[in-house]
């Protein structure tokens, strides 16, 4: 039972309302009331928060993460993809343990919470460690164990593990579990088919890297006579909820297939730039009716887990590459980064209105950039920073507030990470 007073609410509703001098009442993990102060019902709050004119809005949904990679932030940059992977990232990942993966995930939970993220869609290994960190944090997490087929039997073992993880965690607290073929170029066709069947059987979704680089896309066409998305369709992956990360290099037909089958694109604009993959044609995808959402990718290829930046980059890049400044306006970018992800994942979040999950963040507006206040949505998207986030609430629980986490001692997390990093420095 929390009441937030004196807020400026960005509701994210279809009418795009901004409500000033507003009140939000939270009970049982849901929003009980959100609207003008004068219409707020009586409410017995255990805690009243005076927002002092701060912005209250839906929290961000980060649609593509590899949270243990927080241990590898700025560990290796400005390298060719293959050099980066083979000489830096793979050897570093080889040294990960359940314990270091847990602490690295905790560092990521802190970064996500402090930058206003309420839910994330994860693909990696060490899922037990990630699940533990996610459960402790209170964030909503969609976990998937990446399956690869480098040698006979390996993929099968990983798929079995994925199913075990599904039964262990799916629906537990705020966790859900997806299946995950890592990518077309790392997974054999027969395994893609098995994963599609498994997801169908379990009634869950599939999270996969798709057409991130030109090379990957073109090799698939050359070797298989189909694009990665066409191949996914042929093995049944588009018949389950399909979460396609990147999609930088997609054909017209790929986009039509995604639209037709209701697949979700998880675009990671910053990572795609930094790794020199390119710029995804998001405007075109949206014209075709595809659900486009944003993710950060891992901290070693971004190097932040900041959804605020992701939505701004996305909007700017679409304007700058289509030569149309009206494309992906602030209000749309904000919705994609919050409500868009929530809807794609089936969460009752992303809108500030009665009955929705209380997945809410607050942004300080006392910085010089929030005056004048002609347009709060434009301020958040074009002038805001994730450093403005002063409160993150998930399901009615405040997990971050003014530098303090409900679930972690930040100094302990940093000390642990620094310790594991010493080991990485020896590679």
- Return the H-helix or E-strand segment holding 204: none
Binding-site annotation, residues for substrate = 93, 145, 182, 212, 297
Q: For residue 368, state whether it binds a copy of itself (rule: CB under 8 A).
A: yes
**Inter-CA distances, 250 with 22, 76, 243, 256, Å:** 44, 28, 15, 10
CA distance 154 to 117: 34
Q: For residue 47, state whether it binds a copy of itself (rule: CB under 8 A).
A: no
Binding-site annotation, residues = 64, 66, 93, 145, 182, 209, 212, 297
Q: How many residues does the chain have?
A: 427
Q: For residue 80, state whether it binds a copy of itself (rule: CB under 8 A).
A: yes
Q: Which residues does 82 contact at the CB level (< 8 Å), separation at least 6? A: none
Q: Which residues does 202 contact at the CB level (< 8 Å), separation at least 6? A: 163, 166, 170, 179
Closest distance to a copy of itself from the beta carbon of 23 (Å): 23
Cβ closest to a copy of itself, residue 47 vs residue 369: 369
CA distance 76 to 57: 35
Q: Which tokens in the block code for residue 39?
A: 């219409």
Closest distance to a copy of itself from the beta carbon of 424 (Å): 7
Please select the residue that binds a copy of itself; options are 84, 120, 126, 142, rule is CB under 8 A: 84
| Residues of this chain, 239-298, that bind a copy of itself according to CB under 8 A | 270, 272-279
Binding-site annotation, residues for Zn(2+) = 64, 66, 209, 297
Q: For residue 413, state whether it binds a copy of itself (rule: CB under 8 A).
A: yes
Cβ closest to a copy of itself, residue 28 vs residue 323: 323
Q: Which residues does 253 contact at the CB level (< 8 Å), separation at least 6? A: 227, 230
Closest distance to a copy of itself from the beta carbon of 258 (Å): 22
| Residues of this chain, 107-126, that bind a copy of itself according to CB under 8 A | 107, 110-111, 114
CA distance 411 to 315: 35
Cβ closest to a copy of itself, residue 178 vs residue 405: 405
For 168-196, b/e burial (b = at least 16 CB within 10 A) is ebbeeebbbbbbbbbbbbbbeeebbebbb
| Residues of this chain, 194-233, that bind a copy of itself according to CB under 8 A | 214
Q: Which tokens in the block code for residue 38?
A: 């004068």
Closest distance to a copy of itself from the beta carbon of 390 (Å): 12
Closest distance to a copy of itself from the beta carbon of 330 (Å): 6
Rounding to the nearest 10 degrees, give the CA dihedral for residues 139, 164, 184, 228: -70
Q: For residue 321, state whether it binds a copy of itself (rule: CB under 8 A).
A: yes
Cβ closest to a copy of itself, residue 137 vs residue 204: 137
Asked if residue 133 lies in contact with residue 105, where contact means CB atoms within 8 angstroms, the answer is: yes
Closest distance to a copy of itself from the beta carbon of 111 (Å): 5
Degrees, nearest 5: CA angle 294-296-298:
150
Of 258, 261, 234, whose CA–CA distance to 245 is shortest?
258
Cβ closest to a copy of itself, residue 100 vs residue 129: 100
Span of 41-49, 50-58, 73-81, 223-231 interacting with a copy of itself by CB under 8 A: 73-81
Cβ closest to a copy of itself, residue 166 vs residue 313: 313
| Cβ atoms within 10 Å of 417's Cβ, excluding its own | 17
Residue with structure tokens 């027969």? 190
Closest distance to a copy of itself from the beta carbon of 288 (Å): 21
| Residues of this chain, 323-352, that bind a copy of itself according to CB under 8 A | 323-327, 329-330
Closest distance to a copy of itself from the beta carbon of 24 (Å): 23
Write out the residues near a copy of itself by the rule CB under 8 A.
Answer: 71, 73-75, 77-81, 84, 107, 110-111, 114, 214, 270, 272-279, 299, 302-304, 313, 316-317, 319-327, 329-330, 368-369, 371-375, 378-379, 382-383, 385-387, 410, 413-414, 417-418, 420-421, 424-425
């Amino acid at each position: 039972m929390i009441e937030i007073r004196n807020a400026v609410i960005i509701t994210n509703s279809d009418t795009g309302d901004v409500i000033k001098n507003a009140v939000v009442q939270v009970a049982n993990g849901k929003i009980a009331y959100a609207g003008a102060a004068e219409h707020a019902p009586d409410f017995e709050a255990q805690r009243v928060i005076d927002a002092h004119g701060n912005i209250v809005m839906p929290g961000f949904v980060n649609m593509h993460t590899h949270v243990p990679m927080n241990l590898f932030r700025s560990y290796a940059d400005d390298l060719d993809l293959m050099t980066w992977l083979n000489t830096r990232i793979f050897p570093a990942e080889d040294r990960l343990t359940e314990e270091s993966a847990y602490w690295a995930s905790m560092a990521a939970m802190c970064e996500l919470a402090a930058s206003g993220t309420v839910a994330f869609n994860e693909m990696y290994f060490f899922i037990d460690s990630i699940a533990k960190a996610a459960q402790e944090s209170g964030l909503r997490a969609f976990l998937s164990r990446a399956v690869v087929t480098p040698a006979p039997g390996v993929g099968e073992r990983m798929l079995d593990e994925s199913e075990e993880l599904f039964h262990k965690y799916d629906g537990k607290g705020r966790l859900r579990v997806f299946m995950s073929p890592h990518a077309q170029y790392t997974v054999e066709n027969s395994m893609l088919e098995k994963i599609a069947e498994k997801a169908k059987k379990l009634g869950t979704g599939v999270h996969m890297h798709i057409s991130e680089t030109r090379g990957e896309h073109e090799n698939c066409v050359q070797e298989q006579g189909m694009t990665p998305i066409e191949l996914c369709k042929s093995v049944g992956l588009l018949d389950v909820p399909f979460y396609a990360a990147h999609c930088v290099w997609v054909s017209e037909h790929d986009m039509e297939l995604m639209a037709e089958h209701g697949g979700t694109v998880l675009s990671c604009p910053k990572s795609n730039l930094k790794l020199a993959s390119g710029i995804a044609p998001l405007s075109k995808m949206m014209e075709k009716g595809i659900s486009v959402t944003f993710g950060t990718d891992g901290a070693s290829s971004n190097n932040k887990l900041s959804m605020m930046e992701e939505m701004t980059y996305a909007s700017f890049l679409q304007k700058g590459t289509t030569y149309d400044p009206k494309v992906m306006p602030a209000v749309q970018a904000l919705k994609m980064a919050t409500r868009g992800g929530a809807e794609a994942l089936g969460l009752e979040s992303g809108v500030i209105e009665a009955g929705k999950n209380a997945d809410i963040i607050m942004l300080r507006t006392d910085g010089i950039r929030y005056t004048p206040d002609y347009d709060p949505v434009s301020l958040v998207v074009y002038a805001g920073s994730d450093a403005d986030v002063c409160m993150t609430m998930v399901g009615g629980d405040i997990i971050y507030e003014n530098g303090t986490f409900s679930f972690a001692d930040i100094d302990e997390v940093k000390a642990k990470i620094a310790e594991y990093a010493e080991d990485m420095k020896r590679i």
